[in-house]
Chain A
Amino acid sequence: MYRDYILDHYKNPRNSGELPGATHTYHDSNPLCGDELTMQLRISDGHVDDVRFSGKGCAISQASASILTEEVKGKSLDEVKRIDREHVLANLGIPISPARIKCALLGLKALKGAAWGLTAWPGEEVKAK
């Protein structure tokens, strides 16, 4: 599960930090682990001009987000909206146990929230004050 590229993404996250001029931002967390993740997009002409994420948490959540940012740069907003969980899990390339699924998908959840311009994930409005 902890393959070299996973640990590499965890220790040297790609597209990490604050994104100047971000047009879309979404923050999410996984209270069970204490994982925190913010995904920021700069969209121009319907395309992802740039993407950054920041957060702290387990290797799986952080590596998954890092891998995802590499993939979405340059994609159209519609393409980003179509990325699904199966795709993210396949891209991770490691077996994820049921207990760790939420970690693996936290980056996707934050990315979708940002891409759809949400202020809160449907059903979680109370949590995101």
Chain B
Amino acid sequence: MRAPASTLDVARIRADFPVLAQTVRGKPLVYLDNAATSQKPRQVIEAMSRVFEEHNANIHRGVYEFSERTTAAFEEARSKVARLVNAPSEREVIFVRNATEGVNLVAYAWGRDNLKRGDRIVTTVLEHHSDFVPWQQLAAEVGAEIAVVDIDGEGRLRRDQMSAELCKGAKLLALTHTSNGLGTVNPVREIAAEAHAAGATVVIDAAQAVPHTPVDVQDLQADFLVFSGHKMLAPPGSGVVWGRAALLEKMRPFLYGGDMISRVSVAMTEWNELPWKFEAGTSSYVDAIGLGAAVDYLCAVGIEKIHEHELALVGYLLPRLSEIPGVTVYGPRTLDDRVGVVSFNIEGIHPHDVATIFDREGVCVRAGHHCNQPLMTRLGVPATTRASFYLYNTTEECDALTRAVHAAKKVFGV
């Protein structure tokens, strides 16, 4: 396995993240749960504090300077997000709380009017519950069918099965760009092209992709693409739905209320223009502004460089972890088409016990089903232990992880 060399100045990056200087039970914090949420750099924290301390006011409402300044910062964040994913227009970028709300927006506002009895939804066993449960429930409601495409032994999507399912006809493809459980990156562009040929609308869950790899909605030929800000250095409460304007314009709103209207009378209401038609109520504007600052930070470092850095860490960790007796690693064994997620189990120790012992060593990992229960069932395990990297992680932290594996084995005598 040849890992690309990292070109990041990690020491300098780490200095931007106050929390990384913390200790846990007297040991340095080793934060390896980035697929769950990322830590926040000073630049994001300060951008948000500046709003509160210098010009906080509700957006799109006040005709005074503070409101105008806050509105400008909010809309500037939208522009930054649009540039990040190469959206053709800022009108297509809708701020929501997180990827889950994004999928629900599409399921309610597009799905309910476009899916009917007998229609087919094609999805995969790799989906996070956020991109599975909304479609499962919608299918039950309207009487649509769901086809779930399987993976191979390395956690890669069965392309033959995907093609076969799409060939049978599909109204919707709900596909994760990158698996949060295994780190697999799917060939989204290829599959989206097949889906469109089959007449399907393509919804991409990019929650694990946008933080770690360059994502271009036009290149991928997606119709909708959702992601969360909190996994990419931004605060929780910031999330994005990108959708094609032609689709968004035809859709009914998701939530009704303030700000999403252009005119209301007692008898009827006209909707606001895109994107505000989908942003009812006072939005989490400070979180969105934080997301804008996070995009600036990630772009200044370079997303491609971050991806290479994470692959270098996987290349370092995988052989060291795999050679430990009793350790089973799930997911891709090579560095092709993957991100910095490493899922594993230690024979004879439940993942929750693993994570508890790791915690004593200062190592934070996720243990459980990762909101991936269909995937866990497919793997034949109740849960896994998952380490996931970001731009501030180091090979020394990989060593801390393998030391913690040995510590857990020692405690359990396995």
A residues with CB within 8 A of B: 1-2, 7, 11, 31-35, 56-60, 97, 100, 103
Contacts and interface: CB of A to CB of B under 8 A. Distances in A.
A2 B414 CA distance: 14
Contact of A2 (B369, B376, B383, B412): B412
Contacts of B327: none
3 interchain residue pairs of minimum CB distance:
A34-B382, A58-B350, A58-B352
Contacts of B376: 34
A64 to B, nearest CB: 13
Interface string B329-369: 00000000000000000000111110011000000000011
A100 B352 contact: yes
B383 A7 contact: no
Contacts of B369: 31-32, 34
Contacts of B351: 33, 58
Nearest to B408: A2
Given A59-B353, A60-B353, A103-B352, A33 B411 contact: no
A32 B368 contact: yes
Contacts of B350: 33, 35, 57-59
Interface in B394-414: 411-413
B102 to A, nearest CB: 24
A70 B204 CA distance: 52
Contact of B382 (A7, A33, A97, A103): A33
Nearest to A56: B382
A86 B357 CA distance: 24
B412 A7 contact: yes
17 contacts: A1-B356, A2-B356, A2-B411, A7-B412, A7-B413, A33-B351, A34-B368, A34-B369, A34-B381, A58-B350, A58-B352, A59-B349, A59-B350, A59-B412, A60-B352, A60-B353, A103-B352
A33 B357 contact: no
Nearest to A59: B353
Contacts of A57: 350, 382
Contacts of B373: 31
Interface in B312-338: none
B21 to A, nearest CB: 24
B401 to A, nearest CB: 19
Contacts of A103: 352
B413 A2 contact: no
Interface string B140-158: 0000000000000000000
Nearest to B349: A59
A51 B71 CA distance: 66
A57 B350 CA distance: 6
Contacts of B381: 34
A103 to B, nearest CB: 7
A33 B412 contact: no
Contacts of A59: 349-350, 353, 412
Given A33-B382, A58-B350, A60-B353, 13 more contacts: A2-B353, A2-B356, A2-B412, A7-B412, A33-B350, A33-B352, A33-B383, A34-B369, A34-B382, A35-B382, A58-B352, A59-B349, A97-B356
Nearest to B411: A2
Interface string B369-384: 1000100100001110
